[in-house]
Structure 1
Amino acid sequence: MKINIGINEDQRKAIAHGLSVLLADTYTLYLKTHNYHWNVTGPMFQTLHTLFETQYNELALAVDEIAERIRALGEFAPGSYKEYAKLTSIKEADGIPTAEEMIKDLVKGQEAIAKTARSIVPTADDASDEVTLDLLTQRMTVHEKNAWMLRSLVA
């Protein structure tokens, strides 16, 4: 059936594309955070192991919310490593970094997602897409807070 939610097709496609980038960034950071959760070592092990778990669980829930919004806009959500690799701005880590390098890398990832979400705001705002704007506000809030919390762990 044709979609008639008050947002024209071109706007829906543009918003969905932005959300696809956000989805790819979110999933990539989820994988990286989960990897770091498994492989962190050192005197801050317990703290970081727990913090990383909290953050990757939140990212896993976010992936579903973002993908469902893309579908509600009438587009298909990307869902493969190949598609995510083309869309994401987050670089994979080589090897197993030190705990402090993990923290700094995750700060960059959290900030990248906040920037990706912020970049979609004008398109969603032009379309009066309050649902997507609300989702983007929630994502920016979470990622800016996570970046701050991680940043506070390093000098």
Structure 2
Amino acid sequence: MSTQKEVRQEAGTVEDNPVRLEKDKAAQIIEALNTDLADAYVLFHQLHKHHWNVEGAEHLPIHRFLQEAYEDIEEAADELAERVQAIGGVPHANMPTLSAAATVEPEDEDVYDIRTSLEHDLGIYGDIIESYRDHIELAEGLGDYATSEMMREHLEVLEEHAHIIAHYLEDDTLVLESATH
């Protein structure tokens, strides 16, 4: 528990910012970025879960990919939070707040086969990608080109991860249909 006696900025408030983005515009972008931050942490934890639990013949490459993916998501979350702060807001920072703000649903605590797990991941990636596109458009429309550029860079990584997962989910054309071939 904090021993600080004075709150520097209350959560949910917007202060003037050094990048001179108007408060009303900053507030809209902060809300969008905090949603993206919350969604990132849902995906981060789900990818991490799958990284821990992956089994099967392709264990090692999928294990490594999932680690790279959750590390990329964590890096993006850090940049989102720092941007919220830079434009005068308070980034969501505790699990109840993040859970309440998330628009994507994590899978439950059960362990699934890797195909099912990756299908769940791909679903969340798709939802986050669509949200990012909307939030890029919002930032652009409000004149916050730095936020839109940062989000475009994140979007490229999200789309690449979704593409890789889709490839993992394709049927392996090298596997024979039956033993009679």
Which category of TM-score, normalised to the shorter sequence, fits these structures? over 0.9
Q: Say yes or no: does 1:147 pair with 2:162.
A: yes
* Helix, strand or coil at the partner of 2:136: helix
Alpha-carbon offset, residue 7 of structure 1: 2.0
Q: 1:60 aligns with which of 51, 74, 83?
A: 74
- Mapped partners of 1:5, 1:46: distance in 2: 44
Q: What one-letter code is carried by the residue in structure 2 that aligns with 1:17?
A: E
- Mapped partners of 2:21, 2:83: distance in 1: 13
Alpha-carbon offset, residue 103 of structure 1: 1.1
Counterparts in 2 of 1:67-106, with a 5 A limit? 67-94=81-108, 95-106=110-121
Shift >4 Å, 4+ stretches: none
Per the alignment, residue 133 of structure 1 pairs with 148
Per the alignment, residue 57 of structure 2 pairs with 43
- Mapped partners of 2:17, 2:54: distance in 1: 46
Q: 1:109 aligns with which of 112, 117, 124?
A: 124
Question: How many positions carry a matched residue from both structures?
Answer: 155
Q: 1:25 aligns with which of 25, 34, 39?
A: 39
* Helix, strand or coil at the partner of 1:5: coil
**Normalising by structure 2, what TM-score?**
0.81
Unaligned runs of 5+ in 1: none
8 Å contact kept, 2:16–2:87: no
Alpha-carbon offset, residue 92 of structure 1: 1.7
Residue deviations 1:40-69 (CA, integer Å, cap 9, x gap): 112221111111011111111111100000
- Mapped partners of 1:100, 1:91: distance in 2: 18
* Helix, strand or coil at the partner of 1:89: coil
Q: 1:7 aligns with which of 21, 30, 53?
A: 21
Quick check: which one's helix share is greater? Answer: 1
Using CA pairs below 8 Å that are at least 6 residues apart, which structure has the higher relative contact order?
Answer: 1
8 Å contact kept, 2:125–2:158: yes
Alpha-carbon offset, residue 4 of structure 1: 5.1
- Please tell me the root mean square deviation across aligned C-alpha atoms, in Å: 1.4
